[in-house]
Amino acid sequence: MAMTTLSTTVDADNCGRVDLVVRQLSGTSRSQVRGLVDHGCVSINGAACTTLASLVKVGDLVSIRFDPSQRYREKKKRWDDRTFDVLFEDDHIIVVDKSAGTLTVPTNRGDENTLVDRVSIYLSHSRSSREAWVVHRLDRQVSGLLVFGKHEAVAKRLIEQFKLRKPQRVYAAIVAGVMSSDSGTFESHLATGKNLDVYATRPSAKAERAVTHYRVLKRMSDTTLVEVTLETGKRNQIRVHFADAGHPVLGDPRYGTEQAAHPHWIRKRIALHARSLSFQHPVTGQAVTFESPLPAAFEKFLSKNR
């Protein structure tokens, strides 16, 4: 690799933004200049230049050290979005860690800035318009892992996996009260009322079988940290099952609300987090697993409650 160094001393005619100096010095395009800066090829007075907006004054020494045969492409900027973090991405899928307080998809009221909207904007960043295809959902006040398809065909393959209950979804929850059993299973048939509340009922054409497995991770004086594994994935399933058992999820405004209130759980969110997601990659066929750490709200609560 033959490296070349070009240098110039800034005079009154070219002082100002460093990118203009670099472009004049190198004779390359604007995108190539951005790439040179991103790859650490540009320095000002011997110090690395990290932004195109850096200003140079008369007497400054601007240098470029680069391989003329190499094309220096601009690096993709880190996406900063309060609604999600990207855990994994390839040409077919994207796995994100959703923040609590974000709707996965719009309701009938036409909500804006839902997760699917934000992920679609991310996928379209510096590219032509692209759409994120929804595979599964999390409640608004629940955080954690979700996978989206980048193409409709890929999303359909993933949806089929979820229908067949192949993906493994593991949650962490802090529930009210001290659970006596170290592990167990909740099984019932769930239906949705006119007010959209989900409730347990007898088997019928309008009720769906729901199965939730749990394991106690930590018992505290008046709450319990549990690991929850879904066998089925019905709406509000975990919240309803634990509330019906007398141990509602902390912060739940809909199921077991009075018991779910706790003086140390002050967040406007539910103490439920999708922490692990495993499935078969819809294109490669490889088994993949993604993990998300406990949110700061969980860690803070657990440190205060023994």
- Tell me: do 196 and 132 sit in the same domain: yes
Residues 45-68, mean pLDDT to the nearest whole number: 87
Q: What is the spatial distance between Cα 298 and Cα 300, in angstroms, rounded to a whole number?
A: 5
In a domain, residue 78? The reply is: no
In a domain, residue 76? The reply is: no
Domain with 21, as residue range(s), is 4-66
Q: Kindly tell me if the per-residue pLDDT of 273 is higher than 70.
A: yes
- Tell me: do 142 and 32 sit in the same domain: no
Q: Kindly tell me if the per-residue pLDDT of 11 is higher than 60.
A: yes
Q: Kindly tell me if the per-residue pLDDT of 126 is higher than 60.
A: no
Residues 48-55, mean pLDDT to the nearest whole number: 82
- Tell me: do 156 and 270 sit in the same domain: yes
Question: How do 84-89 and 4-9 pair as beta strands?
Answer: unpaired
- Tell me: do 95 and 19 sit in the same domain: no
Q: Kindly tell me if the per-residue pLDDT of 202 is higher than 60.
A: yes
What is the three-class DSSP state of 173? strand
pLDDT at 81: 77
User: What is the torsion angle, in degrees rounded to the nearest 10, for the CA atoms of residue 137, residue 141, residue 142 and residue 144?
Assistant: 80
In a domain, residue 173? The reply is: yes
- Tell me: do 234 and 288 sit in the same domain: yes
Q: Kindly tell me if the per-residue pLDDT of 107 is higher than 90.
A: no
Residue with token string 């987090």: 273
pLDDT at 69: 83
pLDDT at 112: 75
Q: Kindly tell me if the per-residue pLDDT of 77 is higher than 90.
A: no
In a domain, residue 94? The reply is: yes
Indicate the pTM of the whole model. 0.75
Of 37, 66, 95, the residue that ends a domain is: 66
Residues 38-57, mean pLDDT to the nearest whole number: 87
Q: Kindly tell me if the per-residue pLDDT of 200 is higher than 80.
A: yes
Cβ atoms < 10 Å from Cβ of 140 = 17
38: domain CATH number is 3.10.290.10
* Average pLDDT over the chain, rounded to an integer: 91
Residues 146-152, mean pLDDT to the nearest whole number: 96
pLDDT digits (tens, 9 = 90+) for 22-35: 888 888 888 888 88
Q: What is the spatial distance between Cα 83 and Cα 101, in angstroms, rounded to a whole number?
A: 8
Of 38, 66, 94, the residue that ends a domain is: 66
Q: What is the spatial distance between Cα 99 and Cα 251, in angstroms, rounded to a whole number?
A: 15
pLDDT at 270: 97
Residues 279-299, mean pLDDT to the nearest whole number: 95
Number of domains in the chain: 2
- Tell me: do 185 and 44 sit in the same domain: no
Residues 211-222, mean pLDDT to the nearest whole number: 97
Cβ atoms < 10 Å from Cβ of 86 = 14
213: domain CATH number is 3.30.2350.10
Provide the annotated active-site residues.
139
